């Protein structure tokens, strides 16, 4: 059974204050060419800002000089990330203003690991804080000038899924926003079982309508949730694992159709770390970190099961406007096709994106023009020095500076 121990590293929440002001965009530097992923040529290399934080000044020192671990892009193309720097052990959040990262607050001492943005530019993340009552979960929103806690009745409605449970400590593993800007939070918590020597996980999905939280269904007993995806029509997919079954830990994937949950047959899959949905509704799953499959309506079709590297892992998957699936992680090849830590599936074969990047990719996101952004540990994209973030326009890699 998977443990939540890794979630409770760095848990003291710090106060956040605004710090930065937009400046003119600097021209990015090109790198190398290869696999096109955008079906529509971008109209501009600019990244317009959807919201203008008040009284913000650019950070005088690099914010992210260790890694960038999360990325979110809004409908206007504004780019947001979170990550770590050598200056402290806080997770910092920032927005790209076209020339540098502008920090959003002072950072949090947190193990939270999700970042999403809605159509109006509100940014959401989750943190774990260390209070007088012990560890507690908080869901935070950046409103353009400050962070605010929107946790509200979240713990109350999720606790109620398991009779007698009252903890105030409900870990969130994933956040997502639908086409109507509703926010969803998914995760799992453990509860004791009288007929089992260990604790069982209870999975859940909760929805926030800008006022209060409600749960979707009755939760998922004996299920550990790892990832979530939402569609524009309100469809929600969650994935994870069902631990300690007779066959071991099996994969778990279910979908919400605005009324009920329908579990997919995952007998062929093990733990499903991430999922992605294309514009046609096709669902992709990353099983056991290294196997990529899609659901054809009746069965799981494998499109990648041979990743080459000593430390194999796929950490994120995203689908572009042309329905090409892109994966990022730690690998040197996919199905014997050389591809350094990032690759895309065009519907029939895997393709490299130029020379790729030199180290692990943690997260991916497409902007409204169909261009792909990657963030992670890497310091080189297609041979060009970069600071843990780069943009692929379909032919060329571009660096994003501090």
CATH 3.30.70.980 fits 5-399, yes or no: no
Confirm whether pTM is higher than 0.75: yes
CA 193 to each of CA 165, 166, 170, 222, 317: distance values in angstroms, whole numbers, following the listed order: 12, 15, 18, 10, 35
The span from the CA of 357 to the CA of 374, in Å, is 9
The span from the CA of 235 to the CA of 232, in Å, is 7
Q: Residue ranges of the chain with pLDDT lower than 70?
A: 1-61, 111-112, 129-136, 166-169, 193-198, 232-234, 244-248, 310, 401-402
The span from the CA of 35 to the CA of 250, in Å, is 35
pLDDT of 247: 59
Residue whose token pair is 């020192």: 61
Query: Which residue ranges make up each domain of the chain?
Result: 5-399
The span from the CA of 324 to the CA of 340, in Å, is 18
pLDDT of 99: 87
Encode pLDDT of 223-268 as tens digits. 999 999 997 666 899 999 987 655 567 889 999 988 899 999 998 8
pLDDT of 9: 33
Pairing status of strand 380-381 against strand 372-376: unpaired
pLDDT of 110: 76
CA 331 to each of CA 43, 87, 166, 309, 389: distance values in angstroms, whole numbers, following the listed order: 33, 29, 42, 5, 18
The span from the CA of 277 to the CA of 275, in Å, is 7
pLDDT of 268: 87
pLDDT of 197: 56
Using alpha carbons, select from 167, 260, 280, 170 the residue that is nearest to residue 217. Answer: 260
pLDDT of 171: 84
The span from the CA of 248 to the CA of 122, in Å, is 41
The span from the CA of 178 to the CA of 158, in Å, is 20
Coarse DSSP helix, strand, coil percentages of the chain, rounded to the nearest 5 percent: 0, 45, 55
pLDDT of 39: 34
The span from the CA of 33 to the CA of 11, in Å, is 42
Q: Are 77 and 60 in contact, with CB atoms under 8 Å apart?
A: no
């Amino acid at each position: 059974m998977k443990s939540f121990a890794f979630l409770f590293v760095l848990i003291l929440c710090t106060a956040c204050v605004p710090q930065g002001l937009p400046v003119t965009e600097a021209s990015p530097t090109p790198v190398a060419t290869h696999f096109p992923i955008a079906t529509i040529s971008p109209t501009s290399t600019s990244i317009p800002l959807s919201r203008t934080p008040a009284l913000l000044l650019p950070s005088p020192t690099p914010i992210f000089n260790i890694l960038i671990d999360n990325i979110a892009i809004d409908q206007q193309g504004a780019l947001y990330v979170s990550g770590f720097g050598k200056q402290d052990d806080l997770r910092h959040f920032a927005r790209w203003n076209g020339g540098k990262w502008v920090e959003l607050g002072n950072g949090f001492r947190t193990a939270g690991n999700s970042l999403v943005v809605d159509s109006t530019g509100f940014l959401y993340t989750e943190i774990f804080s260390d209070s007088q009552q012990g560890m507690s979960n908080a869901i935070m929103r950046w409103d353009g000038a400050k962070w605010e806690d929107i946790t509200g009745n979240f713990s109350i409605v999720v606790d109620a899924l398991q009779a007698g449970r009252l903890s105030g400590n409900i870990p969130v593993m994933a956040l997502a926003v639908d086409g109507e800007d509703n926010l969803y939070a998914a995760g799992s918590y453990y509860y004791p079982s009288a007929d089992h020597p260990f604790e069982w996980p209870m999975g859940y999905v909760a929805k926030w309508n800008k006022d209060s939280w409600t749960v979707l269904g009755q939760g998922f007993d004996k299920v550990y949730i790892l990832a979530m995806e939402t569609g524009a029509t309100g469809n929600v997919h969650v994935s994870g694992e069902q631990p300690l079954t007779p066959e071991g830990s099996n994969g778990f994937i279910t979908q919400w159709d605005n009324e009920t949950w329908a579990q997919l047959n995952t007998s062929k899959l093990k733990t499903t770390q991430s999922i992605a949905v294309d514009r046609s509704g096709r669902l992709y799953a990353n099983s056991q970190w290294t196997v990529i499959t899609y659901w054809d309506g009746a069965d799981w079709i494998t499109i990648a099961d041979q990743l080459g590297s000593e430390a194999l892992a796929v950490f994120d998957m995203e689908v572009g406007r042309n329905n090409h699936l892109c994966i990022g992680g730690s690998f040197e090849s996919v199905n014997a096709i050389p591809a350094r830590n990032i690759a895309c599936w065009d519907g029939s074969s895997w393709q490299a994106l130029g020379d790729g990047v030199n180290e692990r990719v943690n997260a991916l996101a497409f902007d409204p023009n169909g261009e792909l952004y990657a963030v992670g540990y890497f310091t080189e994209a297609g041979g060009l020095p970069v600071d843990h973030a780069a943009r692929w326009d379909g032919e060329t890699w571009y660096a994003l500076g501090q």
